[in-house]
Amino acid sequence: MRPFKLAVLASGRGTLLPALVELCAAEPSRFELACLVVNVPDAPVRALATQLTPTCPQLVLPHRDYPDRAAYETAMLAAMAPYRPNLVVLAGFRRLLTSTFLDGIACPTINVHPSLLPAFPGMDAPAQALAAGVPTTGCTVHFVDAGMDTGAPIASRHVAIEPGDTPDSLHRRIAAQEAPLLCEVITRLAAAT
């Protein structure tokens, strides 16, 4: 049986990458990290990937090298095609994807966001939650569409807001829930195929 192949798109530190590598290492016949696509050449996720999973192909495609989103996403699709992913996972990928990519990729694309969507989409979700005075926030794994965190939610985890929370302290507690939730969703999606 062919492993369920993950293509990971990242732009920053790669805080979700260790959990994805661990998921694939725990069940190598079931999951495979097919490729890592990075749009920022000096992103720390590249060094982390080299350390954790040196055999995983790194596709470095700086978005600034392309005249527009459509050209960039067409190049991403071409670079990813040989790896035939079953699922694209956004792991801190700091670019909105358009229909060029989403209609062109032959598999679902998912993202994890630090709020209980549809509440607090976009940047600084923990700060948005604190400013709104809600008692609870959390994280959501959702399908990606061409909007800003508007794709259909798949699963979420709640995180209580504590007295004295700052955006940073709240974000750290939310982040601790993101990787386990993401791996749970990937496992469910793989089982459904």
Q: How many angstroms separate the CA atoms of 92 and 17, rounded? A: 10
- Rounded distance, CA 38 to CA 64, Å? 12
DSSP assignment of 12-49 equals S--TTHHHHHHHHHHSTTTEEEEEEEESSTT-HHHHHH
Helices and strands (H and E) in the chain: how many:
6, 7
The question of whether 113 is a catalytic residue gets the answer yes
Find the catalytic residue in 113, 142, 158, 171.
113
Distance CA 82, CA 60 (A): 15
Please give the order of strands across the beta sheet that includes 87-90: 58-60, 31-38, 4-10, 87-90, 109-113, 136-143, 153-160
93, amino acid identity = F
Residue-level length of the chain: 193
Round to whole Å and give the CA distance between 108 and 137: 26
- Is the four-CA dihedral 172, 182, 74, 122 of positive or negative sign? negative
Which residues carry out catalysis?
113
